[in-house]
Structure 1
Amino acid sequence: MADQTMQQQQWRNRTLALAGLIQAAGLVDQLARTGQAEPKAMEASINSLFAFSSENAEQAFGGIDNLEFGLRSLRDILSGNDYAEKQNILRYSMGVMHLQKKLRNDRDMTSLMANRLQHAAKKTEFDDSDISSLCTSLAAIYQDTLSKFSYRLQIRGSAQQLQSSHNAAKIRALLLAAVRSAFLWHQSGGSRWVLLFQRGRLFEQTKQMLNTEIRH
């Protein structure tokens, strides 16, 4: 019975971590195409970067309600109905998983990123930064770490939106948040094999949480 409960908890953690990744990727897609992103989801994704002691996505995002955008997007992707519309989100998510793996294998860069995030967190305590200035700081961290890898994520969208420095900063900050969720996905036992062979389990878990735990 204890093993069954532990397994259920692991699947919950796995699903919410994947929802966190999909949420950040979905917000990147929104910004790249329209210059706008869902505010509550954006704030939750950015703030997850500063939840240093969190052991799972539910803790990092401050509750399942802050993952509603990601859970709904994940459900739509796993159902197959919205596949064409969500292709960019899927591409970004797979690219982020690749970046997360490279980062995990580079201890110096991982340490640098952690230190820079700690510094950014302390700064926000003192000057009460708004989300735009916070994203500018986070974008600099992204450029000094993940941008150094030879693998680059190609973001597709409106040229006007992508050329905006404010949008570019928000996109980089969200990609950093996506990598954070990818770490949580890996820690909970998530892998490409799970995505390939356990899609049905993830889909059912996502539907159940949306139906029973998200306030309508």
Structure 2
Amino acid sequence: MSRSLHDQTLALAGIFQAAALVREIAHTGYCNEAAMETCIRSLFATDPETTLDVYGGELSDIRDGLQVLSTVFAQQARPQDAEVLRYVLNLIHLESKLKRKGDVMDVLGNRIEQARHTASHFGYTHSNLLSNLASVYSDTISTLGPRIQVSGNPNMLQREDNQHKVRALLLAGIRSAVLWRQSGGHRWQLIFKRKKVILHARELLR
């Protein structure tokens, strides 16, 4: 896997896309289903040739993530920006814990592989798959602690289907965080390389 700024930006956009969708669902109960499908599909991209292949091979698949990255990362002025950024930083922190837990990584890999049949049979946004992936998240990532506290509309967060979507998307966010680290991403880069990442995200959007 390449370790260029380009690849790091794409993987970071994957984390931002998942985080933004979590926020949308938590507040409204709805989200861009195509963007969600990209995130969920990335969980099953286990042997990609390029970083972009993880997200479907087209920049349009990760456009929402690039857009959120280029705005939230740049200003962080609105409450919703701070919320998305909190999820992103939490996901990166949890992934750093996950990489030190080989046993949990093994369980995670096996469970996602088992879910592949459900994905191929029903599709990436079907309730059966989302429920399956939500349980994978609960049984693996949630044990690493501390858990990500999702804020939003209590009426939306109490709905089981929304809970499944949120957990499945957080799992996809972890997938992108793994990819970000594999492409050379480090937490210090979020401070020292922030402007370069934002500029590259905007170039890709053009």
Same fold (TM over 0.5): yes
Secondary structure in 1 aligned to 2:4?
Answer: helix
Q: Which of 131, 136, 141 is the aligned partner of 1:136?
A: 131
- Deviations, residues 180-210 of structure 1 (Å, cap 9, x unaligned): 0000111111111111011110011011000
Counterpart-to-counterpart distance in 1, 2:120 and 2:13: 28
Secondary structure in 1 aligned to 2:184?
Answer: coil
TM-score (norm 1): 0.89
1:72 pairs with 2:72: no
Q: 1:127 offset after TM fit, Å? A: 5.1
TM-score (norm 2): 0.94
Q: 1:126 offset after TM fit, Å? A: 4.1
Task: Identify if the C-alpha distance between structure 1 residues 167 and 145 changes in structure 2 by more than 3 Å, giving closer, same or farther.
Answer: same
Task: Give the aligned partner of residue 178 of structure 2.
Answer: 183
Tell me, yes or no, if the aligned pair for 1:56 and 1:184 is still in contact at 8 Å: no
Tell me, yes or no, if the aligned pair for 2:33 and 2:125 is still in contact at 8 Å: no
Q: Which of 27, 44, 56 is the aligned partner of 1:33?
A: 27
Q: 1:166 offset after TM fit, Å? A: 0.3
Counterpart-to-counterpart distance in 2, 1:209 and 1:166: 33
Task: Identify if the C-alpha distance between structure 1 residues 162 and 128 changes in structure 2 by more than 3 Å, giving closer, same or farther.
Answer: closer
Task: Give the aligned partner of residue 214 of structure 1.
Answer: none
Q: Which of 149, 167, 170 is the aligned partner of 2:165?
A: 170
- What is the number of residues matched between the two proteins? 205
Counterpart-to-counterpart distance in 2, 1:159 and 1:41: 24
Amino acid aligned to 1:48: S
- The answer for unaligned runs of 5 or more in structure 2 is none
Secondary structure in 1 aligned to 2:43?
Answer: helix
Task: Give the aligned partner of residue 118 of structure 1.
Answer: 113
Secondary structure in 1 aligned to 2:69?
Answer: helix
Counterpart-to-counterpart distance in 2, 1:55 and 1:101: 24
Task: Give the aligned partner of residue 195 of structure 2.
Answer: 200
Amino acid aligned to 1:158: N
Indicate the RMSD between aligned Cα atoms, in angstroms: 1.8
Counterpart-to-counterpart distance in 1, 2:136 and 2:5: 31
Counterpart-to-counterpart distance in 2, 1:167 and 1:69: 20
Task: Give the aligned partner of residue 87 of structure 2.
Answer: 92
Counterpart-to-counterpart distance in 2, 1:96 and 1:56: 22
Amino acid aligned to 1:45: C
Tell me, yes or no, if the aligned pair for 1:23 and 1:70 is still in contact at 8 Å: yes
- Greater CA radius of gyration, 1 or 2? 1
Tell me, yes or no, if the aligned pair for 2:29 and 2:156 is still in contact at 8 Å: yes
Secondary structure in 2 aligned to 1:192?
Answer: coil
Task: Give the aligned partner of residue 59 of structure 1.
Answer: 53
Task: Identify if the C-alpha distance between structure 1 residues 107 and 153 changes in structure 2 by more than 3 Å, giving closer, same or farther.
Answer: same
- The answer for unaligned runs of 5 or more in structure 1 is 1-5, 212-216
1:150 pairs with 2:145: yes
Counterpart-to-counterpart distance in 2, 1:128 and 1:180: 19
Task: Give the aligned partner of residue 3 of structure 1.
Answer: none
